[in-house]
Structure 1
Amino acid sequence: MKSLSEWSFTEPNLLVQFPIDPIKENYIRRVPGCVFSHATPTPLKTQLQLVSASHDVLENILDLNPIEEANPVFAKFIAGNQLLPGSVTIAHRYGGYQFGYWADQLGDGRAITLGEYVNSKGNRWELQLKGAGKTPYSRNGDGRAVLRSSIREYLCSEAMHALGIPTSRAAAIVVSKDMVVRDQFYNGRMKYEPTAVVLRLAPTWFRIGSLEILTREKEIKNLKQVVDFTIEHHMPTIPQGNYLKFLETVLEQSAALVSLWMAHGFTHGVLNTDNMSLLSITIDYGPFGFLDSYNPSFVPNHSDDEGRYSYLNQPKIFKWNMARLADALQPLLSAEEQKEAAATIGRFDEIYQQQFISIFRRKLGLSKAAKDEDKLVQLLLDMMQQRRADFTQTFRQLGAIHLDNIELGEEHWALHSITTHPSFSEFISLYQKIVQETGISDEERCRVMNGVNPRYVLHNWMAEAAIRQAEKDDFHLTHLLSKVLSKPYDKDDEAESLGFSNPPPDWACSLRVSCSS
C-alpha cells in the first residue's frame, strides 16, 4: 500500500498516444480531427468534505492505504483542486445517438480524465473526475455535478461490482458549499444545489460514440487507432486488424451484460450509444433504477416519455446499438466483412437468450440445464408481473423455503403475493419435477440461489433517503449503504432495521429521477 506522497500516475499516458486538439485553451467549441482535448479541472472554492470512499478501490485498484482518506490532500485530489504527479488532464471527444437520433458532437462535458494507473496486479485503469468543471465539450453546461447524482453514481458503481456485473468503479466522492442552479425535472423550477465530484475509474472510457464521431467526420486514421488501441490493451486474444472479430466480441460481451442487468432488475435509463462502453461495462450512471415490483414496462427516466429505455426494451436497444457500432466500423471492413457484420448483428437475439436462460437457471438454483427450464422461468415471471411481486425478494425468498413442504411466514412477504395465483401450483409441481430430474438436492438448490440472488440492491428510495440526509451534511446512510451493498448477499442487522429487504415505503411510489445532474 502506498501513501499519497508516494503515489503517481503511470506513463506513457493517453496524451502521447492519440491526436490531441491543438487548442489548449479550455473553452466550449466544435472540435475536429482529434480524440482528446486539453481540459483542466476548475477548483472548487469552498471547503471540501469527503462524503465517502471505497476501501476496495483504494486498496485493490489504486494500491493506496485507506488511511490516506484522512489526509487533507485526498479530498483536494478527488475534487480536482490538487493534481498528483504524472497527471495529464484531458477530455474525450465523442458523438452518439440519443433516443434514436444522431446528436453529433457530445464529448466529456463534465468529466476530465486525470491519467492512467497500472497497479501492482498489472491492471490498467483510467482515472476520471466527474463534475470537475467545464471542458470544450460542455455545450451549455457548467461542467459541474450535484450531490444527488454523484451519490447515486458512487453507490451504484460499487453495488453493481459487488453483484458481479461489469461496471466502472467509484473511488470516492467529495462535496463543497459551491452551489449551482439546476432544473431537475426540466419544468422551469430552478433551484440551487451543492456541487460534488466523483473520482471514477474504468479500464477505458472509449464507447460506441467514440467511433461514431470519427466515422461521421471521415477521420479513418483516428478511427483505426482507437479500435487498435482497444484491441491491444483490452482484447489481446483478437489479432490486430481483425475488426470483425472485435465486433463479435463486443456483441457477445454486451449480450452477457444486458442479461445480467435483466437478471437483477436493473434499468439503465439512458442507453444512448454515447453511454455504451466498448468493453461492455456499465458506465454513466444517471436515471437508473432497480425494479421494485416486477413491471417489465418500468421506465426510471422521467425524460423518457415513450419508454424507449424501459426495462423490457433493454435487449432490443442493445441490439440496435450494436448495429450502430457495425456502422461505425464500416470503413475498416471489406465488403464481404460488412455482410458478415450484418449476420453477426442478426445473431444477437440468440446469444442473448442463451445468456438470459443460463442466468435465470441459476437464479432458480438449477446447476444443470433442464428440459422445461424456459417454461419454468416464464411461469414465474408471468405470475410476478400479474401480481406485481417484488423482483429481488421473490427470488431471494424462493431460496429460503423447501419445495416439498412450503411454509410461509411473515418474512416471506414477497412470495405471499404469488401463492394465490392460479398458476402457482403448476409452477411448484414443475419446479419439483425439474429439481428431481436433475438430481439437485433442496439444500443445493437453496445454496445456489442464495449465492446469486441478493438480499439487497440499491432501490431508488434507498438512494433518495441517503441523498436527503447528505444534503443536511449527514453521510451516515451513504456510508451504511456503501457497506451493505458491498456484501449484498449477507444479512445486515442495521440494514434490516431500516427495512432494506422489506416492501418499499409508500413515499417511494412518488419518486422520479431524470438525466439532470
Structure 2
Amino acid sequence: MARDALASLRAGCSFASLSAGFYTRVAPRPLRNPRLLHASPDAAALIGLDAEALQTPAFLALCSGDGRLADIAPLATVYSGHQFGVWAGQLGDGRAHLLGDVRTPGGTWEIQLKGSGRTPYSRMGDGWAVLRSSVREYLASEAMAGLGIPTTRALALVASDDPVMRESAETAAVVTRLAPSFVRFGHFEHWGHSHHEQKALLEHVIALGYPECRERAAGRMDPAATACRLLTEVSRRTAHLMARWLLAGFCHGVMNTDNMSILGLTLDYGPYGFMDAFQANHICNHSDTAGRYAWNAQPAVARWNLYRLAGSLMVLGCEAPALETCLASFEAEFLAAYRAGLARKLGLDAWQPEDAALEDDWWALLHVQRADFTLAFRRLAEADQDAGAWLALFPDPAPARAWLDRYLVRRTGQGGDAPARRAAMLRANPLYVLRNHLAQRAIEAAQRHDATEIDHLLTVLRDPYTERPGFEFYARPPAADARAVPVSCSS
C-alpha cells in the first residue's frame, strides 16, 4: 500500500471551484535536503494513510513542498481582517499553500503546508517558518485534539538546514496541517463589499460544513436567511470553543479575526500558552502589551470578532437587527458550556446558582496564590482522601483549606458513588498539558535532529487524562527558578 498510498487518495480541491479572485496559484518553495522530523499516525489515519505510507519518499516530497496531491496546482487564499482590534486590510496566506483536499468516509480534509515560501500575500514576510515555531504548532495541534478541543490537525513536521533570519539565524521547517476547511472570519471580511463573491463564499462554506443552515426561497438559496443561520451556528460553536479554552487554561495569544475559524476550530498556533501558575489576566503573548488577548478576555474578544463577521454579511442583505439577534445568544451559550464543563471538572452533578460563589472564590484562591492551573484541578479529584497533596500547591494553605471544606460539603451533599465521581473527575481534568518549558525542551532536541522529546510528549498528550508510569516529569510544572519561555507573534 505504501508506494501507492498518496496516489490512491480521493483528492480534489473544492476551494478552487471559487473564482480566481479568491486565490492565487503559486508553488511552494521546496526545502533543500528535507528530513521528516516527525509524522502523526493519528492525523494520518484521518485521511486514510497508514504508518508505512508516512515513511515513503512521496510523502516526504509532499510535505516538504516538492510534491503534488494528484497533480493539483497548489494555491494561496486571500482574506482580510482586524489585527489587535485595528483593520489591517488585505492579508492572506502569506506562508501557506493549500495542496488540495481528500475525501474520506468521515468527511473532507484539506491539506495545507505552513512555512512553505512566499505568496502574493506575504507582504514584507519571507514566507518561511522556523523550526522553533513549527515544533510548537505541530505539538499544540495534537495536544488540543487529545484534550477534545476542536482544532486543526498536524500531519507532519519536515525540517531542513536552510537558514532563516529572525532575531537571530534559525533553520527552516514546514508543518503539514489538516482541517475540514481553513476558511476564516477574515475570508468573509475580505468580501464584505461584494455581494457576488460573498454569496459564492457563503455557498462554499454551507456545502462544506453547514448544510443544515441552508435556507431556500423560490427554490434557491436565500443568501440573507442562510447567512443569519450560519452566523447563529458559528456564534454557538465559537462560544463553546471559548469555554473549552478557558477550562483547559489555554491562551491563544493572537485572536485576530483572520485567526478565527469559520468552523469553530482552534486555528493558527503562534504565541499560545497553557497556564502554569494561574493568573486570571495572564498574557501569553509578549507582543500583546495591552493584554487584549489575556486568558479572561478571550470570550469578549471572540464576541467582538463575531460582530466583525456579522458586519461583513450585511452585503448579502442581512439587516442589522437580524444579525444582532443571531449574536444575542453568545453569552448564554458560553456560560452554559463553561458552567457545565466547570461542574464536570469539580465533580458536581449539575451547576447550581449557589455554585457561583464557590466558583468565584476558587478562581480568586488560585489567582492570589498563583497555584498551578492543571494540578489544582487534577488533585482536587482525590482531595477528600489526600488533602495534603492538593494543599501543597498553595503557599498559604489556610485559605485553601477553608475553601476545600466548603467544596467538600457541596460535593458530598449531592450524594452518589464517591469512587465513580473521582474517576469522572480524572477523566475531566488532564494530568498532562503542553507547558511552554516542555515545548522548549522538544524544540532544543529537534534542533539537534532528535525527535525523542516530540515522541514522549505525543505519548502523553494524545491521552492526557491517563497517568503513565515513567512519564512523571511531563506532569510537573516548571521549576521555581526556571527561566520563563517568552513567546511572541514571531513564535
TM-score by length of 2: 0.94
Partner of 1:52: 38
For residue 360 of structure 1, what is the amino acid of its counterpart?
L
**Higher mean C-alpha displacement, 170-179 vs 476-485:** 476-485
Pair 1:89-2:66 in alignment = no
Aligned with 1:127: secondary structure?
strand
Structure 2 counterpart of 1:263: 247
What secondary structure, in the 3-state scheme, does the structure 1 residue paired with 2:162 have? strand
Return the letter of the residue paired with 1:457: V
Where 1:510 maps in the other structure, the secondary structure is: coil
Q: Which residue of 1 aligns with 2:177?
A: 200
1:458 aligns with 2:434: yes
Q: How does 1:143-162 map to 2 (within 5 A)?
A: 143-162=127-146
Residues 319-349 of structure 1 show CA distances to partners (whole Å, capped at 9, x for unaligned) of 10011011011112343xx202123334322
Question: Which of 371, 375, 399 pairs up with 1:393?
Answer: 375
Q: Which residue, 113, 133, 138 being the options, matches 2:122?
A: 138
Distance (whole Å) between structure 2 residues aligned to residue 514 and residue 220 of structure 1: 37
Rounded to whole Å, the distance in 1 between the matches of 2:443 and 2:318 is: 51
Looking at structure 1, the residues matched to 12 and 476 of structure 2 have their Cα atoms a distance apart, in angstroms, of 50
Quickly say closer, same or farther: Cα 1:438–1:333, change in 2 above 3 A: farther
2:94 and 2:120 in contact (8 A); partners too = yes
SS of residue paired to 1:113: strand
* Structure 1 residues 449 and 417: alpha-carbon distance in aligned structure 2, compared to 1, 3 A threshold: farther
Give the corresponding residue for 2:409.
433
- The partner residue of 1:473 within 444, 449, 457 is 449
**Which residue is 1:420 aligned to?**
398
Give CA deviations for 1:9-30 in whole Å, capped at 9, x if unaligned.
545523541011xxxxxxxxxx
For the residues of structure 2 that align with 1:10 and 1:247, how far apart are their CA atoms?
A: 31
| Structure 2 residue 62 is the aligned partner of structure 1 residue 77 | yes
CA distance in 1, matches of 2:212, 2:306: 21
Is the alpha carbon distance of 1:334 and 1:212 closer, same or farther for their aligned partners in structure 2, counting shifts above 3 Å?
closer
1:5 matched to which residue of 2? 4
Equivalent position amino acid for 2:297 in 1? N
Tell me, yes or no, if structure 1 residue 109 matches structure 2 residue 94.
yes
Q: How does 1:15-54 map to 2 (within 5 A)?
A: 16-20=16-20, 34-45=21-32, 47-54=33-40
Question: Are the equivalent residues in 2 in contact too, given 1:256–1:352 (CA < 8 A)?
Answer: yes
Distance 1:442 1:379 in 2: 24
One-letter amino acid matched to 1:18? L
Compute the displacement of 1:508 (Å).
4.2
Q: State yes or no: 1:383 paired with 2:360.
A: no
In the alignment, structure 1 segments of 5+ residues that lack a partner are 21-33, 184-190
Is residue 347 of structure 1 aligned with residue 324 of structure 2? no
Instruction: Name the CA shift for 1:104/1:371 in 2 (closer, same or farther; >3 Å).
Output: closer
Are positions 1:491 and 2:478 aligned together?
no
Identical-pair percentage: 36
The one of 84, 88, 104 equivalent to 1:99 is: 84
Structure 2: segments with no counterpart, 5+ residues: 216-221
Supply the distance in 1 between the matched residues of 2:71 and 2:428 (Cα, whole angstroms): 41
The answer to whether 1:67 aligns with 2:52 is yes
The one-letter amino acid of 1:5's match is: D
The one-letter amino acid of 1:434's match is R
After TM superposition, give the deviation of residue 72 of structure 1 in Å: 2.6
Kept in 1: contact 2:185–2:309 (CA 8 A): yes
Residue 442 of structure 1: how far off its partner (Å)? 2.1
Distance in structure 2 (CA, Å) of the matches to 1:249 and 1:418: 45
Counterparts in 2 of 1:108 and 1:180: CA distance versus 1, 3 Å: same
Helix, strand or coil at the partner of 1:493: coil
Instruction: Give 1:228 deviation, angstroms.
Output: 1.6
Matched residues in 1 for 2:386 and 2:232: separation? 45
Q: Deviations over 1:121-163 (max 9, x none)?
A: 2410100000111111111111110000000000000000010
**Cα offset for 1:293?**
0.9
Shift in Å at residue 406 of structure 1?
4.7
Distance 1:267 1:471 in 2: 26
Question: CA–CA distance in 1 between the matches of 2:423 and 2:383?
Answer: 11
- Shift in Å at residue 54 of structure 1? 0.7
- From the superposition, tell whether residues 413 and 39 of structure 1 become closer, same or farther in structure 2 (CA, over 3 Å): farther
Alignment partner of 2:158 out of 143, 149, 174: 174
1:94 shift after superposition: 0.2
2:195 paired residue number: 220
Residue-by-residue CA offset, 1:347-389 (whole Å, 9 max, x unaligned): 3222211211111000001233334222222221111111111
Distance 1:210 1:507, change over 3 A: farther
Q: Contact 1:370/1:434 (CA < 8 Å) preserved in 2?
A: no
The 1:378–1:279 alpha-carbon spacing in structure 2 relative to 1, beyond 3 Å, is same
Q: Which amino acid aligns with 2:4?
A: S
Maintained 8 Å contact 1:90/1:113: yes
- 2:423, 2:336 → 1: CA distance? 23
Q: CA deviation at 1:80?
A: 1.0
Q: Deviations over 1:399-440 (max 9, x none)?
A: 1232xx55424xx4654446321x642x33432333244323
Is 1:248 the equivalent of 2:226?
no
Q: Note if contact 1:367-1:448 (Cα within 8 Å) is conserved in structure 2.
A: no
- Which piece of structure 1 moves more, 296-305 or 238-247? 238-247
Letter in 2 for 1:225: A
Once the 2 structures are TM-superposed, how far is the Cα of residue 443 of structure 1 from its aligned partner? 1.6
Aligned to 1:408: 388
Q: 1:211 to 1:407 in 2, by over 3 A?
A: closer
In the aligned structure 2, how far is the partner of 1:134 from the partner of 1:429? 58
Task: Find the aligned partners of 1:53 and 1:367 in 2 and give their Cα distance.
Answer: 40
SS of 1:114 mapped into structure 2:
strand
CA distance 1:5–1:478, shift in 2 (3 Å) = same
SS class of match (1:232): helix
Match of 2:187 in 1: 210
Q: Which residue does 1:24 correspond to in 2?
A: none
1:276 and 1:199 map into 2 onto residues whose CA distance is 19
Q: 1:277 offset after TM fit, Å?
A: 0.4
1:30-66 Cα distance to aligned partner (Å, 9 max, x none): xxxx111111111112x2211111111112x121121
**Residue 77 (structure 1) shift:** 1.5
The count of corresponding residues between Structure 1 and Structure 2 is 481
Q: Is the 8 A contact 2:251 2:273 kept in 1?
A: yes
Alignment of 1:228-247 (within 5 A): 228-240=203-215, 241=222, 242-247=226-231
Q: CA RMSD in A?
A: 1.8
CA distance change for structure 1 residues 508 and 332 in 2, over 3 Å: closer, same or farther? farther
Q: 1:310 aligns with which of 289, 294, 319?
A: 294
Deviates more, 1:439-448 or 1:449-458: 439-448
